[in-house]
Amino acid sequence: METVFKRVMLAGVASLTVAAAAKAEQLTVFGPWLGPDQKNIETVLADFAEKSGHDVRYVGSDSFEQQIVIDAEAGSAPNIAVFPQPGLAAGMAERGFLTPLKDGVGDWIKENYAAGQSWVDLGTFKNKEGEDDLFGFFYKVDVKSLVWYSPENFEDAGYEVPETMEDLKALTKQIAEDGETPWCIGLGSGGATGWPATDWVEDLMLRTQAPDVYDKWVSNEIKFDDPAVVGAIEEFGEFARNDDYVAGGSGAVASTDFRDSPKGLFSSPPQCYMHRQASFIPAFFPEGTEIGADADFFYFPAYEGKDLGSPVLGAGTVWTITKENQAAHDLIEYLQTVPAHEIFMGLGGFLTPHKGVDLSKFSTDAAAKMNEILLGATTFRFDASDLMPGGVGAGSFWTGMVDYAGGKDASAVASDIQKSWDALK
């Protein structure tokens, strides 16, 4: 074992100590992944097990959020819990159910992750005594700040990919003046109707306000009816509430299912030229659509004139220690290595802010391009609605955006959402 680990260390694959590796422990990892993603994470964990000597077991559940609380309260928590949202992890930390990560992990994140301070901030929660500590390590990220388009349609019309928000708004106006429709937007999603608009507003908050304003909005230190938030909602309205800018007119925005919305990019003639949505949306493109040829994407740009850098909105899984042993700390250390990221990159469905990875290791060119957007971020922020109380982030915010798309005043919508937040106290 000692010889194996010396080779591992020399290769730069891990910095786990020989002493830790020599003392094998059982390690249980509990997360939200089933199906293909479970197989992928098990492949990564198998590499860790081989290099560390630990007995690693993964358990996945589609009821993770409920089960992890039950297990922690019963004293039967796994060693590692992988949270899809940091909000629940923060609540667990405050109740004393999480163990802080070792000293130095935060410094490593700041040095090796793009927008590193953002990831430290997102993984820092209050402990049982109300003091801030680093509890979470982000590994496996999704990007939402994307605009999808047809390269062929753009080429035929003579349009160029915009590099700034000013350019994007100018392009939107130009397409409409040419007698075409710039955008396809759909908010329909069954009982979750309205959520796609919350992503628009969150992205626009990051492009009109400093990151700390966004954070204060998420925590309700800045109220929902604050002019900064109302302004971001109205920015969304500049795209969604103009009949000339949206396929079917603004009246169709709320009733169009988000899964059907991008299909307008592929009709002949095109019903629209652009569609803003996260990295998962190709699953709803017509069968056989080739990313990079039939469809492509660009970064939802920032304002050149606002000096707010290149913010990226997204999501990700945060890894925490819920039952401490040495193997748990060893796994967090392993996740800091390049191979831990490149293995998953080659399997698909994975993006990373790790600046040291070889982008050629991605399974597709599209994934590598998305990751370049992530690596170019000066600020990364988690989906705000996922961090807000459920009654707001998965309730009044959704319905409020439907009301706004239907013509209700932005200030009135924001005031109603704030009232629902106040009612939770």
d(CA 250, CA 327): 54
Global pTM?
0.91
Q: Are strands 124-126 and 132-134 parallel, antiparallel or unpaired?
A: antiparallel
d(CA 312, CA 299): 9
The domain limits of the chain are 2-135+315-377, 146-310+386-422
Helix (H) or strand (E) holding 326: helix 326-334
User: What is the residue-level pLDDT of the chain in tens, covering all 425 positions?
Assistant: 333 333 333 334 444 544 444 589 999 999 999 999 999 999 999 999 999 999 999 999 999 999 999 999 999 999 999 999 898 999 999 999 999 999 999 999 999 999 999 999 999 999 999 999 999 999 999 999 999 999 999 999 999 999 999 999 999 999 999 999 999 999 999 999 999 999 999 999 999 999 999 999 999 999 999 999 999 999 999 999 999 999 999 999 999 999 999 999 999 999 999 999 999 999 999 999 999 999 999 999 999 999 999 999 999 999 999 999 999 999 999 999 999 999 999 999 999 999 999 999 999 999 999 999 999 999 999 999 989 998 999 999 999 999 999 999 999 999 999 999 999 97
Q: Beta strands of 94-171 (E only): which ranges?
A: 124-126, 132-134, 137-143, 146-149
Please tell me the predicted confidence (pLDDT) of residue 22.
54
Residues 6+ apart with CB under 8 A from 374: 114, 141, 143, 312, 314, 351, 352, 353, 380
pLDDT, the chain, mean: 94
| Residue matched to tokens 């949202």 | 85
Please give the span between the terminal C-alpha atoms of the chain, in angstroms, as a whole number. Answer: 56
Q: Are strands 124-126 and 80-83 parallel, antiparallel or unpaired?
A: unpaired
Please tell me the predicted confidence (pLDDT) of residue 10.
31
Residues pairing with 246 in the sheet:
183
What 8-state DSSP symbol labels residue 189? -
Please tell me the predicted confidence (pLDDT) of residue 23.
84
Fold for 2-135+315-377, please state it: D-Maltodextrin-Binding Protein; domain 2 (3.40.190)
Please tell me the predicted confidence (pLDDT) of residue 6.
30
- SS3 category, 314: strand
d(CA 144, CA 281): 10
pLDDT in tens, 31-78: 999 999 999 999 999 999 999 999 999 999 999 999 999 999 999 999
Please give the single-letter amino acid code of residue 136. Answer: G
Please tell me the predicted confidence (pLDDT) of residue 85.
84
Q: Are strands 311-321 and 80-83 parallel, antiparallel or unpaired?
A: antiparallel
| Residue matched to tokens 């998965």 | 394
Question: Peptide bond before 311: cis, by omega within 30 degrees of 0?
Answer: no
Please tell me the predicted confidence (pLDDT) of residue 231.
98
CB 365 within 8 A of CB 352: no
One-character DSSP codes across 392-403 = IIIIIHHHHHHH
Please name the CATH architecture into which domain 146-310+386-422 falls: 3-Layer(aba) Sandwich (3.40)
